[in-house]
Amino acid sequence: MFKRLLCVLTFLLLTTVQSQAQQDEQLWFDFQLSYPFGGRYLLENTTTYQTLLSKDDKWRSFSISPTFEYTLLTRLDLLSEVGLSYTLQKEGSNSWDIMPMLGGRFFITQNKRVDTRLVLRYQLRYFRQVEEQDWDISNRTRIRGEIFVCINGPNLFTNKLWYALADYEEFIVLDQQLAERYANRRRARLGLGYRLSYKHRFELSYTLQKSRNEIEGDFKSSDNVIQFKYKMFLNPAKVVSDD
């Protein structure tokens, strides 16, 4: 089962590559702090550093993304987030982004060796270059399919667990044709994760990201992204003693 899924996702990665596209290499570091409570609620914040590895058009981005999740049904989580990021590129191009989001996560299979999910998000984007006074406003819909495959355990709640992960996401912009790197986009990702314990989890992944500056036309740029993520979970469930 895992080999079949890996073959399908590898094929998706390869078929999205175009020889004429501009190629860039990026490095991302994420620290995700999560606090579940009340059995249905989750407060989370992701702090991210992203950078372009090539010397041409070098940029660095710092962001925080506070998130609130609510488990509405056994298979459905409601999501909300307000992301804030600052990008250092060059004088005249440094920028702020504010990105509020609403969405949902639907579990197709859950608590099994193969865990599959569908995530739908609607995101507003407020963008302003530091040297300008006005904010550009656009919106985009994000649709992502996710697969997690447990390698040495029955499900994702197992400690000392190795797991494989893969997802594919489409970004759909309908209202504006913004000529910059956050416009219409698609991503395909493959990775490996390790859950040491409830508190500590680690992921290493590779993402192929393709972007275009306008609604119509071909995808003109392609990014190869290496991403390291450390997840820390607080507030573990208390074990009730029989004594």
**87-128 pLDDT per residue, tens:** 987 766 788 899 999 999 999 999 999 999 999 999 998 888
- pLDDT for residue 18: 44
Find the length of the chain: 243
Q: What is the mean pLDDT of residues 180-202?
A: 87
Q: Does the pTM exceed 0.85?
A: no
DSSP state of 240: P
More confident position, 46 or 180: 46
Measured in degrees and rounded to the nearest 5, phi and psi for residue 21 equal -75, 145
pLDDT of 139 above 80: yes
**14-42 pLDDT per residue, tens:** 554 444 445 789 999 999 999 999 999 99
39, 40, 37: which is closest to 70 by C-alpha? 40
Distance CA 80, CA 85 (A): 17
Q: Which residue has the tokens 């992204």?
A: 225
Distance CA 175, CA 141 (A): 11
**155-168 pLDDT per residue, tens:** 999 999 999 999 99
Buried residues in 23-61 as b, exposed as e (16+ CB within 10 A): ebebebebebebebeeeeebebebebebebeeeeeebeb
- pLDDT for residue 236: 85
Report the amino acid identity of residue 198: Y
pLDDT of 11 above 80: no
More confident position, 135 or 13: 135
